[in-house]
Amino acid sequence: MIDAVKTDPFGEVNAIDVLDLASLEGRAEKVLGRGEFGYISEGSDDGYTMRRNTTAFQDVEMLPRVLQGVEKPDQSTTFMGAKLASPLLTAPIAGNTLAHSSGELGLAKGAKEAGIMMSQSTFASKPIAETAAVSDGAPYMFQLYMPKDWSYCEYLLDEAKNAGALAIILTADSTLGGYREKDVMNHYHLKGRLANLEGYNSGQTGVGAGGLFKESMQKLDLALIDKLASYSGLPIIIKGIQHPDDAVAAINAGAAGIYVSNHGGRQLDGAPGAIEQLPAIAAAVDHRVPIIFDGGVQRGTHVLKALALGADLVGVGRPFSYGLALGGWQGVKAVADHLKMEINIAMQLTGCQTIEDVKRMKIKTRFA
């Protein structure tokens, strides 16, 4: 019997209609397994921070301008030299075959077709080289969970560099996983093929499957930034920044970018919504390095608000997983295209011709 996945790496794909990003969750729940849906959808503890990520956008108001001569807004932008059709990023998410058989290959193709940035997790279910081959020169970044085993880290960095990764995103806020009750109730653990670990194990002896990431490094420090940059020769972006002092310290230690995120509310519950922390962090960064932001983005207006408060690139996570589940790579593209449509409307109605105009937009916040 022919393996359909090998014959068609993208699996079954379907065009999907997107009314709004929020409604995708309920639709995806119907096609995903209970454990898979719980893993993708949940936050930690009581879910306060996950919910606040989105509700905090209600405390940000845009001040629109009129008679600005805007026609057919241009949302194209450049990030670290890469040209993008829109300032959107597929935020790094583990094990995308949980959502669809194509996994990261579908995510990469959807991102490429939409003209946005793709990032791949260390815990990917497809190899770095295969994912990058689908990207085929489209902008691509690799996210690193720092292992204790430096030889495995070298392997990951080598693979990412050979694949043409634009930068390495070091996740710093996940030295332990948050407490997620749906996983406990469903007796669910991240399963399936962890392709990057398998690729390393294939050339090693005495390395148990999954063993390395039971030994993930918990004691992270600023010296890692230079170590990773010196070995890889790639820019290092620090993900999980929620405090201005950490942003300044990371930059002083050599970070080439700051990634404002609370991991989608999956780590420390009780932290503020990510957008609440962005203005102070952006002020501390003061344009020295680019800023990526993610956390609760479900609308084009959310993207504009994040850009106006200091972000250069805006990550979206769960909605892309749901789009992948519903339609494969076409579902990913449909989610991106819907967001781009909403961004276009918001730019027109706020009087912004370009993304640089968005970044100069006047904003009011009601943050404490």
Residue 52 assigned ligand-binding role: no
3-state percent breakdown (helix, strand, coil) of the chain, nearest 5: 45, 15, 40
The reply to whether 93 sits in an annotated binding site is yes
| Closest-CA residue to 59 (of 303, 276, 288, 331) | 276
Q: Which amino acid is at 40?
A: I
Residue 281 contacts by C-beta under 8 Å, 6 or more apart in sequence?
Answer: 241, 242, 243, 244, 247, 258, 260, 291, 310
Check whether 354 is labelled as a binding-site residue.
no
* 121 assigned to a ligand binding site: yes
Residue 305 labeled ligand binder:
no
**Number of neighbours of residue 273 by Cβ within 10 angstroms:** 25
- Annotation-wise, does 92 bind a ligand? yes
Residue 261 counted as an annotated binding residue: yes
Which member of 100, 187, 263, 338 is catalytic?
Answer: 263
Catalytic: 263? yes
Q: Are 359 and 347 spatial neighbours (Cβ–Cβ below 8 Å)?
A: no
SS3 329: helix
The answer to whether the annotation marks 232 as part of a ligand binding site is no
The values of phi and psi at residue 318, to 5°, are -55, -40
Q: Confirm whether residue 171 is marked as ligand binding.
A: yes
Q: Does residue 138 have a known ligand-binding role?
A: no
Q: Residue 128 annotated as binding?
A: no
Give the 3-state secondary structure of residue 120: strand
Round to the nearest angstrom and report the end-to-end CA distance of the chain. Answer: 62
In whole angstroms, give the CA distance from residue 94 to residue 6: 21
180 among the known binding-site residues?
yes
Q: Are strands 88-90 and 313-316 parallel, antiparallel or unpaired?
A: parallel
Token representation of residue 43: 């936050």
Q: Does residue 206 have a known ligand-binding role?
A: no
Residues of each annotated binding site for FMN: 92-94, 121, 143, 171, 239, 261, 317-318
Residues of each annotated binding site for glyoxylate: 39, 145, 180, 263, 266
Catalogue the active-site residues: 263
Residues of each annotated binding site: 39, 92-94, 121, 143, 145, 171, 180, 239, 261, 263, 266, 317-318
